[in-house]
Amino acid sequence: MTSRGPAGRTEGRERLVALLLGGVAAVLLLSSPTWFAAGSVVVGLLQVLLGAVLVGVALFLHRRAGRR
């Protein structure tokens, strides 16, 4: 097994965190219609907003990990 060094480990971690955040964002965005159907519009909007923010952070981390 080869050692990737500190930069390689950081890149791998950033990519994994980006994938985790992307997965959480997908769950939030896909489940938000449930809140709208239940009449909780505020909760639905907050969930969509949080999902969008997490998608942005995930994309930022994924691109940052790919540049190194």
**For the chain (length 68 residues), average pLDDT per consecutive 10?**
63 91 96 94 96 96 84
CA–CA gap between residue 66 and residue 15 (Å, rounded): 8
Domain count, the chain: 1
CA–CA gap between residue 35 and residue 22 (Å, rounded): 20
Whole-model pTM? 0.80
Centroid of chain to Cα 29: 11
Range(s) of the domain holding residue 47? 5-67
CA–CA gap between residue 33 and residue 37 (Å, rounded): 6
CA–CA gap between residue 14 and residue 20 (Å, rounded): 10
Encoded tokens for 68: 């190194």
